[in-house]
């Protein structure tokens, strides 16, 4: 039954996907078209690949016949023959230290690479330092120097990314976004979070478990909030939920903490918790909920419901302890995996991806977090 009946024969293809390449039953071949058109297969091939040098009349006849027969090439045979190589490059922030968030995106890329590396394509990952303003420019030049066939980009530095994208568009290099997107560019596809809607989910989770007379604090921990679009979207979504529900609720207070060092977080939270004894919940729009969690734990305020984003180790640790109640996650690894797949489909099969693909807003608690690793 099985093809590989010897243990010596370690299959070269790590996935099941090769089966997709099995030949279709009775699918028309180039040969069949050639036969019907009364020409050789070489001529058919020239027509199908626009290699020119074919009489107009012959060309039209062949195209008509191919259309009638619903010809589509056997990609398996094609791949067997072809020596084509594709080079992709992913450009995203460095995942060290404070930026652990970006580690999961790397995982998705690694996962994709594991599947694709054995084949005629390569994926180079280049990361830039978020805290060095000119590093993005530097690294984007490195990317261009590689003359890639396609690019995966996390465009969190809006201005610089836009410049880069314009260059790519000029050079005809297709690019896909993950994590966030910039509307004013010619990106092929975005794969990621629906930030506004995820804010609404956060609001709903807090609303459900927080007494109606309590106030809720929205904490934005970001160096440059105005330029961090998705945090704004999350906040807007969060607030919209309470507007829509029309319930008589305690107030929602929005806080912005530019310097996210812990001492500064303590300072700000201390002040607001002291001046307002009625705070029942905190929503942290970024992945830094663990800083607020640390504060709540140290100040014995675990009565406050805390909801945040992203499965960073420190967040998960507080989630398991019960200090963080919910984490909202956006499937970072799946984002990059899908991006790789989309570029392949586009480059190899001219398959146009969905332009905006929102992945599910996952609600993660201490009881189901185990499934997200």
Partner DNA sequence: CTGAAAGCGCTTACAG
Token pair recorded at residue 240: 């919209």
Among 54, 113, 156, 201, binds a second copy (CB under 8 A): 201
Token pair recorded at residue 71: 């010809």
Q: Which is nearer to DNA, 32 or 111 (CB)?
A: 32
The reply to whether 162 sits near a second copy by the rule CB under 8 A is: no
205 binds, among DNA, a second copy, none (CB under 5 to 8 A by kind): a second copy
Among 40, 55, 98, 118, binds a second copy (CB under 8 A): 118
Sign of CA dihedral 115, 118, 119, 124: positive
Give me the least distance between CB of 54 and DNA, in Å please: 4
The Cα–Cα gap between 149 and 234 comes to 34
The Cα–Cα gap between 106 and 100 comes to 10
Q: Which is nearer to DNA, 48 or 255 (CB)?
A: 48
- Look at residue 209 and give its three-state secondary structure: helix
Among 236, 259, 298, 368, binds a second copy (CB under 8 A): 368
Sign of CA dihedral 293, 297, 300, 303: positive
Q: What's the length of the chain?
A: 373
Judged by CB under 8 A, the chain residues 241 through 280 that form the site for a second copy are 241
The reply to whether 19 sits near a second copy by the rule CB under 8 A is: yes
**Residue range at the interface with DNA (CB under 7 A); choices 76-84, 93-101, 185-193, 353-361:** 76-84
Please enumerate in sequence order all residues whose Cβ is within 8 A of that of 1, keeping only pairs 6 or more positions apart, or say none. Answer: none
Please enumerate in sequence order all residues whose Cβ is within 8 A of that of 282, keeping only pairs 6 or more positions apart, or say none. Answer: 216, 217, 218, 219, 292, 296, 304, 305, 306, 307
The Cα–Cα gap between 90 and 179 comes to 13
- Look at residue 305 and give its three-state secondary structure: strand
Q: Which is nearer to a second copy, 272 or 363 (CB)?
A: 363
Q: Which is nearer to a second copy, 77 or 354 (CB)?
A: 77
The reply to whether 70 sits near a second copy by the rule CB under 8 A is: yes
> Are the C-beta atoms of residues 346 and 150 closer than 8 Å to each other?
yes
373 binds, among a second copy, DNA, none (CB under 5 to 8 A by kind): none
Q: Which is nearer to DNA, 72 or 132 (CB)?
A: 72
Give me the least distance between CB of 293 and a second copy, in Å please: 16
**Residue range at the interface with a second copy (CB under 8 A); choices 46-54, 95-103, 155-163, 286-294:** 46-54
Judged by CB under 7 A, the chain residues 14 through 73 that form the site for DNA are 23, 29-31, 38-43, 45-46, 48-49, 53-56, 58-59, 73
Q: Which of 73-82 are b and which e, b meaning 16 or more Cβ less than 10 Å from the residue's Cβ?
A: ebeeeeeeee
Interface ranges with DNA (CB under 7 A): 3, 23, 29-31, 38-43, 45-46, 48-49, 53-56, 58-59, 73-74, 77-78, 80-84
């Amino acid at each position: 039954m099985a093809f590989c009946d010897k243990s010596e024969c370690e299959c070269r293809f790590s996935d099941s996907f090769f089966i997709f390449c099995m030949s279709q039953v009775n699918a028309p071949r180039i040969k069949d078209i050639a036969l019907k058109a009364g020409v050789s297969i070489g001529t058919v091939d020239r027509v199908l690949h626009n290699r020119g040098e074919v009489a107009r009349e012959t060309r039209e006849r062949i195209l008509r016949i191919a259309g009638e027969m619903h010809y589509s090439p056997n990609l398996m045979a094609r791949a067997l023959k072809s020596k084509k190589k594709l080079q992709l490059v992913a450009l995203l922030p460095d995942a060290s230290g404070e930026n652990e968030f970006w580690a999961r995106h790397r995982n998705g890329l690694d996962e994709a690479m594991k599947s694709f590396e054995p084949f005629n394509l390569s994926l180079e990952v280049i990361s830039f330092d978020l805290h060095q303003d000119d590093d993005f420019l530097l690294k984007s030049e490195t990317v261009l120097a590689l003359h890639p066939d396609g690019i995966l980009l996390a465009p969190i530095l809006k201005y610089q990314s836009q410049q880069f994208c314009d260059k790519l568009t000029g050079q005809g290099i297709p690019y896909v976004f993950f994590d966030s997107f910039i509307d004013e560019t010619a990106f092929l596809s975005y794969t990621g979070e629906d930030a506004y809607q995820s804010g609404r989910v956060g609001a709903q989770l807090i609303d459900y478990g927080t007494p109606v007379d309590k106030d809720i604090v929205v904490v934005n921990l970001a160096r440059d909030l105005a330029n961090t679009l998705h945090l704004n979207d999350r906040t807007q979504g969060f607030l919209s939920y309470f507007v829509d529900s029309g319930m008589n609720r305690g107030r929602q207070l929005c806080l912005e903490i530019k310097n996210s060092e812990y001492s500064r977080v303590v300072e700000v939270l201390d002040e607001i918790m002291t001046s307002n004894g009625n705070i029942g919940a905190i929503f942290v729009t970024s992945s830094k909920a663990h800083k607020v969690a640390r504060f709540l734990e140290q100040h014995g305020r675990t009565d406050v419901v805390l909801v945040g984003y992203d499965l960073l180790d420190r967040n998960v640790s507080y989630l398991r302890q019960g200090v963080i109640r919910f984490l909202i996650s956006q499937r970072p690894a799946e984002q990059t995996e899908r991006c790789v797949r989309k570029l392949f489909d586009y480059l190899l099969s001219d398959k146009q991806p969905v332009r905006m693909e929102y992945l599910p807003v996952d609600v993660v608690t201490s009881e189901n977090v185990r499934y997200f690793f």
